[in-house]
Amino acid sequence: IIATAVFCFLIAHITDKKNSYPQWLQPLLIGLSFVAVGAAFGFNCGYPCNPARDFGPRLFTFIIGYGGEVFS
């Protein structure tokens, strides 16, 4: 959920009209931010940018006894 929030914030920042990013550079920056979020948060289970695919496995591993570190 945090990765999705970070990615949404980055998209809002990049596409904001008050920022002076050129129109041709915005898709590249959005793609790079997606790769950066995936590399930062997806080291153990892949890209966690979809909360439906990220939360379920974490909840399952928490329930079977791995503890709260699956959410850190």
What pLDDT is attached to residue 20?
85
Q: Which residues of the chain have pLDDT under 70?
A: 44-51
Give me the sign of the Cα torsion angle 31, 56, 67, 46.
negative
Strands (E), 1-61: none
What pLDDT is attached to residue 47?
64
Q: Give the CA radius of gyration of the chain.
A: 15
Domain boundaries, the chain: 2-71
Q: Which residue has the tokens 């002076």?
A: 20
